[in-house]
Amino acid sequence: MTSNRLVNLFLCWIGARAVLHNGWWLVVSLYMVVDAGLSPAQLLMIASAQGVASVIFELPAGVVADAVSRKWAIVVAHALMGTAMITTGLFPGFIALMLSQMLWGVSWTFSSGADVAWITDELNQPKTIHRVLTRQARWQLIGAAVGMIALGSLASVIGRPVAIVAAGIAMLLLGVVVAVTFPERNFVPIRTRRWRAAMAIARRGAGLAMRDRTILVLVIVTVLVNGAADSFGRIYPVQLANLGFPSDSSGTAWFTALGIAGLITGALSLYAVERRIHTEHGARGAMLLACSAGVVGLGILGLAPNLTFAITAVLIASGIAMPLVRTVTTIWVNRRTTSDVRATMHSFLAQAEYVGEIFCAAVLAAISGLTGAAGAVGLAAVLFGVSIMVIARRRYAGAGAAN
């Protein structure tokens, strides 16, 4: 398989998965409230249970991908993901939904590091992989927008439960496509003493994360930024509603339109920096730009005097800060990681995301109870500001030093 065909296959899969995942989640978000009748407390319990399950399984799943197979880890992810999606639509009870959402979280742990590791090794072009990963992020954003429109429309015609189950079946079939079409020629699995080898992989990954100061900084930034991003995602609708954003029956359509505008902005932002992030200097500059956009966007949102300022702030935060930080971090860590622990290292990064969402979001939730949505958004902006200082300090400390 030629390099172009391999990249096209990977990007088509990324886009199709994003269509199904994001469209399904849009429908499920409404399904759990309207059809299942869950209370806010139950929704938060489900979110917490899913986060805990993901944290527990993330590192073991990454080690499995490094020890056994990246391709088959992705196939397992599709099997678990499709099963979770289908059971969500079939069983609307609280306990069943909690279990299906926990399985959904576990399914992503098998794919979160394996996909980047697979395309990096199979393509075997270190000087151009950053462009592929940037295009991957753009395809995810475009697929998300298409999925929100397509599955949202489908659900309005055939009903939410049926649309949810249909998306799950399609996700299972997409896993079959991966099993049949994805090659795996540049990966050598461990066939003897797998348990001992897996533990060695985990130790080498942890050692690299602690030894490489740049990776350690990126892990810290990931914790801070994802805590801020998760809180932003939960709070900005409240802030918009307080400033007059539609909250009646047309509100869902307006929020969907704003979400799609953010996705389009993100795709354009990624295209703008794609040619500049292949070096350490370029990646650092893009990270500083992204975190600065987070400070500006969240700062404006917290102080916005009217709806126009607030919508602009949301687009800056969701369309520039969030996608750039995640994509540049993935590319930067991927470039500094050796093949034998690549999936494990991306799993460490994913764990940092979950930790940020759990702990930083909990603190910001407490703050919001005292100061309101504006105060919590302001503190989220501070987290982006701290990230800027962490990155800038690493540049000064690492000047002329070996990494």
CATH number at residue 321: 1.20.1250.20
- Indicate if 263 and 118 belong to the same structural domain: no
- Indicate if 218 and 362 belong to the same structural domain: yes
Domain range for 139? 1-189
**What is the number of structural domains in the chain?**
2
pLDDT at residue 95 above 60?
yes
282-309 average pLDDT score: 90
- Indicate if 179 and 101 belong to the same structural domain: yes
Percentage of the chain with pLDDT > 70?
89
- Indicate if 211 and 143 belong to the same structural domain: no
- Indicate if 185 and 210 belong to the same structural domain: no
Q: Domain ends where: 189, 211, 240?
A: 189
The span from the CA of 399 to the CA of 393, in Å, is: 10
Q: What is the pLDDT of residue 247?
A: 60
- Indicate if 238 and 172 belong to the same structural domain: no
Q: Domain ends where: 157, 189, 221?
A: 189
- Indicate if 79 and 142 belong to the same structural domain: yes
CB 183 within 8 A of CB 2: no
- Indicate if 42 and 158 belong to the same structural domain: yes
- Indicate if 269 and 130 belong to the same structural domain: no
Using 50, 70 and 90 to split pLDDT, how confident is the model at 396? very low
| Token duo for residue 86 | 């289908």
DSSP-H helix ranges across 212-279: 213-242, 251-273
- CB-side exposure of 231: number of CA atoms within 13 Å? 36
Q: φ and ψ at 248, to 5 degrees?
A: -85, -155
pLDDT averaged over every residue in the chain:
83
**What is the distance of C-alpha 198 from the center of its chain?**
25
Q: What is the pLDDT of residue 191?
A: 65
The residue type at 143: G
What are the pLDDT digits (tens) for 248-276?
Answer: 555 567 777 887 888 888 888 888 887 77
What are the pLDDT digits (tens) for 38-89?
Answer: 775 677 678 778 878 888 888 788 878 878 888 999 999 999 999 999 999 9
What are the pLDDT digits (tens) for 137-170?
Answer: 889 888 988 998 888 888 888 888 999 999 999 9
